[in-house]
Structure 1
């Protein structure tokens, strides 16, 4: 097909081609999502093709363009190229996105941008490290912004609306704990996060309901960020974490909000440690630990994260010190445990300790901790899977390759019940190492 067949702008060329092929834009995206699913990618919004059909079109990202052309070619029975649909033209200049740097963005504009939809599908987001990664958390130490605290509420909240959001956050946590970051659950979580962003943007002000809403949004940002991290969508996870910190900077006046923020910062630090950004992880955890009046359970969560981070940076003294801190906090409960901190037990601390010794290249020290974690009754399937994989890595490094293969077989069965790209990648990496 030559472009000259259509006396119309490029966007209309694509629309005409879809009409000729008997396809709606949603059908095109559905076929693209089938291709993405085979690669383990998350699905696009079914409305993602509409910007490609505007009078001044938004051009698809390279991988989406390749998928779309493959779908169109299969449907047409002939080769459809980028020039056939006007995608060979120069790309329009990219406009500034607030989500590129949430820590510096005006809060209301940032939340409005998030609520618009598919910005998290962008594949050109980059991980931020160094000062750019820790600045949003450092800003929390400066306290709330006075002007934002005095901002009037522009929508009427009610207990039922706020309660529904709080329940949705808990439901999302339960789904993630039981099944991992399955693409459907993650899509649902991102949808909740986007829609709640709009509610938060329209309900800034003071009062108990606003405090509850803001706390729920920070908890939601932590949960969605964790799911993106588990799906190995690391830049997107970081932007979600930073957005929660950005809200907390203006709204973090209540203790519950501050404690939820400390948990969010600790999860961001865990991601940094997993990716070997050791200075970022240490800085974030120091900030989280400085949160005032931390309940014992929250102090234990932060200490558990510090155990793992210390192992990743090869600091055995810190591994022992933070393990003692975590167990001390667990041993002195204060009846103020937030619902999101109930997952942490001594078995979980053992798992983090074994993982830390493994990272320190001391696998013999890791064996008893990881064995204890694997043998314990696991309330969370993904945690059990991670412990099995860690133990397989450990025994393989100790020269027990047969035992490592048995554990990898066990992990392979667990992977069928837990959707976690992070665990799938680790299983493949370990399997290759044991086979070698």
Structure 2
């Protein structure tokens, strides 16, 4: 009898995806939702599972337990006095007042608590780990090969995630992880919209990603989406939306106790907004915050995957962008050189983009030969990268070079045209 009681409660807890510690946390959250003054400790939860007979929960604890598992307390293995036994009957039935009613037979509910009544395959930890590895691999694909092949991979993963969520069987913990990955994936698609020049599609993906991240109550995931929304909003000439996204990102990061790296990313987006609107004083303030956070980033115990790309080179690049906006390209050049040196070869797409920016600044500073040399280096290295945004920047350089009466500029412009016709980038 004692083994049956213990194993039954432990089985329900494990099937719901809880450890004893996370069960205590979930219990407190459910009590808050029900506005019930009830709590439980890990020690008490262990007693419920192990002691013979298990201590009877207080009435308020019973209310929470029955809400969490969707079962009458008696079917969790407790010996319940008759006056506290929950009955199963339609809510609208006349007669005596009932403490709690269930809409299905208790036996059916017991089965449902262990295995969701969905057709299809079972999704467990192994399947989640495989999907997680493929999702994380999108960063590498995007950085090295560009957003076009990354988007193709993302679509396949999204089909599998939505299919699993809609038809597979899984525990509540696995379901939450699947929803979290779907939110992340839509955040990726928002970035691909930005990189591909599909701004409206990118913003729509941002809205979906934000809603999904809110549903799983993941503030740092919301921050990752908001930092992409800033870039999309700037492209859409919605500076007010970009500024609002920055403020919300700051608020969420502070609430979540985020580290310096996350705050560094937000500061850089803050600088993006200020630079775009011509608020150069605001840009300097944001960049000063970025420098401060960068100097302390090595103290972060953990950095989200989406923020791991950032480094001193991003601060240098944003500083150069501010000088370009102020029409001081010569002051931008040393910062762009530092950014190109610092970015490293594992971020091939961004590295090429930085070099195009450097070539642009050199051209604006009337250093034509050096600008064309930089652009030639870009063309040499970007053959395996498929990024519409990078291609657009290269074409912009070509148009600027075409306006200059120089042999180097003409030669460079012709090489760009040949490269574009050949399908590179």
3-state SS, counterpart of residue 399 of structure 1: coil
Report what 2:232 is aligned to.
Answer: 271
User: Paired residue for 1:352?
Assistant: 318
Task: Give per-residue Cα distances to partners, 1:23-58, cap 9 Å, x unaligned.
Answer: xxxxxxxxxxxxxxxxxxxxxxxxxxxxxxxxxxxx
Gapped regions of structure 1 (runs ≥ 5): 1-145
Query: Once structures 1 and 2 are overlaid, which stretch shifts more, 418-427 or 162-171?
Result: 162-171
**Secondary structure at 1:361 match in 2:** coil
Pairwise CA RMSD: 2.8
Separation in 1, partners of 2:156, 2:249? 28
Q: Is the 8 Å Cα contact of residues 123 and 170 (structure 2) preserved in structure 1? A: no
3-state DSSP class of the match of 2:147?
A: coil
Measure, in 2, the Cα distance between the counterparts of 1:227 and 1:406: 29
Higher relative contact order (CA 8 A, sep 6+): 1
Deviation readout 1:133-157 (Å, 9 max, x if unpaired): xxxxxxxxxxxxx89x999977565
Partner of 1:58: none
Tell me, what secondary structure is at the counterpart of 1:300?
A: helix
Asked if 1:246 corresponds to 2:211, the answer is: yes
1:395 to 352, 362, 370: 362
Other-structure match for 2:397: 430
Are 2:214 and 2:222, in contact at CA under 8 Å, matched by a contact in 1?
no
Which residue in the other structure is 1:225 paired with? 190
**Aligned positions of 1:101-250 closer than 5 A:** 157-182=123-148, 184-200=149-165, 207-250=172-215
In 2, the alpha carbon distance for the partners of 1:203 and 1:349 equals 45
Q: CA deviation at 1:411?
A: 2.0
Superposed displacement of residue 427, structure 1: 0.6
Shift of 1:206: 8.9
Counterpart Cα distance in 2 of 1:285 and 1:205: 36
The residue aligned with 1:320 is 284
Distance, in Å, in 2 between the alignment partners of 1:404 and 1:270 is 26
| Native 8 Å contact 1:354 1:366 kept in 2 | yes
Write the distance in 1 (CA, Å) between the matches of 2:188 and 2:384. 20
Q: Alpha carbons of 1:190 and 1:359: their partners in 2 closer, same or farther (altered >3 Å)? A: farther
Pick closer, same or farther for the CA change 1:343–1:204 going to 2, 3 Å. farther
The answer to whether the Cα contact below 8 Å between 1:311 and 1:358 also exists between their aligned partners in 2 is no
CA, structure 1 residues 229+424, in 2 after alignment: closer, same or farther (shift >3 Å)? Answer: same
- Distance in 2, matches of 1:212 and 1:324, equals 37
From the superposition, tell whether residues 356 and 334 of structure 1 become closer, same or farther in structure 2 (CA, over 3 Å).
same
- Supply the distance in 2 between the matched residues of 1:307 and 1:249 (Cα, whole angstroms): 26
Q: Judge which range, 150-159 or 382-391, deviates more.
A: 150-159
- 1:372 match: 338
CA separation of 1:324 and 1:212: change in aligned 2, threshold 3 A: farther
Q: Is the 8 A contact 1:367 1:394 kept in 2?
A: yes
Aligned to 1:309: 273
Cα pair 1:272 1:280 within 8 Å, conserved: yes
TM-score (norm 2): 0.61
C-alpha deviations, 1:348-394, integer Å up to 9, x for none?
Answer: 22112212332343323322211111223343011111111111111
Is the Cα–Cα contact under 8 Å of residues 178 and 418 in structure 1 kept in the other structure? Answer: yes
Is the alpha carbon distance of 1:203 and 1:260 closer, same or farther for their aligned partners in structure 2, counting shifts above 3 Å? farther
